[in-house]
Amino acid sequence: MKTRTLGTLEVSALGLGCMGMSVNYGPSPERDEAIAFTRAAFDAGVTFFDTAQVYGPFANEDLVGEALEPLRDQVVIATKFGFDIDPADPRRRAISSRPDLIRSSVEESLRRLRTDHIDLLYQHRVDPSVPIEDVAGTVAELIEQGKVRAFGLSEAGADTIRRAHAVQPVAAVQNEYSLWARDPEPEVLPTCAELGIGFVPWSPLGQGFLTGAVAASATFGDDDIRSRFPRFTPEALVANQPIVALVQEVAQDAGATPAQVALAWLLSRGEHIVPIPGTRRLSRLAENLAAADLVLSADDLRRLDEATAAFSVAGARGSGHEHYG
């Protein structure tokens, strides 16, 4: 597997988004199966694993911690703080980055991850009630203490990134980015490139939509987060099919799969970009990782770039309430 850098962290060019092994996409796999899958991802070349305190909550960090404990010195683990979660009812949560909560969250994450340090610690969502300088300063203290190696932001805007970076260098920004979610391009991506900050696209395959595996007639159960997302309403699925058709056409011309084309397009956008597709199937994992070696032609890249930039995507991205803080 080729490698890229996020700040001072060297990671596989494609990471693994681990959330779906615990929550949000229907019934989760058995724990032993998920642990074996995570270790198989490492054997296949993945060294960058992404989790978060709120995934579960807590369950995904615990799973990732057990899976990677024997491999700890060979992998980069990213996790996130930023929610005040009611321990009596974990479904009750509120955005919060109070310094005391950051510190306690990190202690809990270290315990669940079975490690003495977190390689990359993200603020999961920007908290408008806490100055980003205070957040960055708190993480800087944790870095000084050796509990954290690098600082990241998720769903942050350009101004927030600059302000945080001035206090504690930001290693990576994780925002949604794909062929149907190009929101970071006007301001966030140029800011990251200017400051030498890595960029980690979440949902790089559009939560499965860009693979062509989500039919226009698809429906989702209550335990699938897509049942609540605007881009997965019946009307939006029909309206957005031209994007899938385009990716499928390019894939056929390139002798690749739609998922590989979508990932290769992202990788072509800059050496500082490290997508983290999530999957629970070994066949999909192998398919996704092969995208690191796929080189699309200049004509294919132009077709993808121009057509998707001109297309008006139906439905708000993410939960419908996503915005850069």
Q: Is 55 a catalytic residue?
A: yes
How far is CA 74 from each of CA 28, 90, 152, 261, 287, rounded to the nearest angstrom? Answer: 26, 32, 20, 29, 23
Provide the pLDDT for residue 88.
Answer: 82
Provide the pLDDT for residue 151.
Answer: 99
Supply the CATH classification number for the domain 3-310. 3.20.20.100
| 249/215 Cα distance (integer angstroms) | 16
Task: Please identify which residue in the block is written with the tokens 């799969």.
Answer: 257
Is residue 151 within 8 A of residue 169, CB to CB? The reply is: yes
Instruction: Report the phi/psi class of residue 129: left, alpha or beta, with left for phi > 0 and alpha for psi in -120 to 50.
Output: alpha
Provide the pLDDT for residue 9.
Answer: 98
Provide the pLDDT for residue 325.
Answer: 95
Provide the pLDDT for residue 91.
Answer: 81
| 260/176 Cα distance (integer angstroms) | 18
CB atoms within 10 A of CB 319: 10
For the chain, the three-class secondary structure string (H helix, E strand, C coil) is: CCEEEECCEEEECCCEECHHHCCCECCCCCHHHHHHHHHHHHHCCCCEEECCCCCCCCHHHHHHHHHHHHHHHHCEEEEEECEEECCCCCCCEEECCCHHHHHHHHHHHHHHHCCCCEEEEEECCCCCCCCHHHHHHHHHHHHHCCCEEEEEEECCCHHHHHHHHHHCCEEEEECECECCECCCCCCHHHHHHHHCCEECCECCCCCCHHHCCCCCCCCCCCCEHHHHCHHHCHHHHHHCHHHHHHHHHHHHHHCCCHHHHHHHHHHHCCCCECCCCCCCCHHHHHHHHHHHHCCCCHHHHHHHHHHHHHCCCCCCCCCCCCCCC
Exactly one of 25, 55, 177, 324 is catalytic; name it: 55
- Tokens matching residue 117: 């340090």
Amino acid found at 313: V
Segment-wise mean pLDDT, segments of 10 residues, the chain, 325 residues: 97 98 95 98 98 96 98 98 90 94 98 98 98 98 98 98 98 98 98 98 98 96 96 98 98 98 98 98 98 98 97 96 92
Tens of pLDDT, residue by residue over 129-142, are 999 999 999 999 99
| 149/289 Cα distance (integer angstroms) | 26
Is residue 6 within 8 A of residue 274, CB to CB? The reply is: yes
Is residue 246 within 8 A of residue 303, CB to CB? The reply is: yes
How far is CA 262 from each of CA 159, 201, 248, 295, rounded to the nearest angstrom? Answer: 28, 12, 10, 12
Provide the pLDDT for residue 87.
Answer: 81
Domain boundaries, the chain: 3-310
Is residue 52 within 8 A of residue 80, CB to CB? The reply is: yes
Provide the pLDDT for residue 304.
Answer: 98
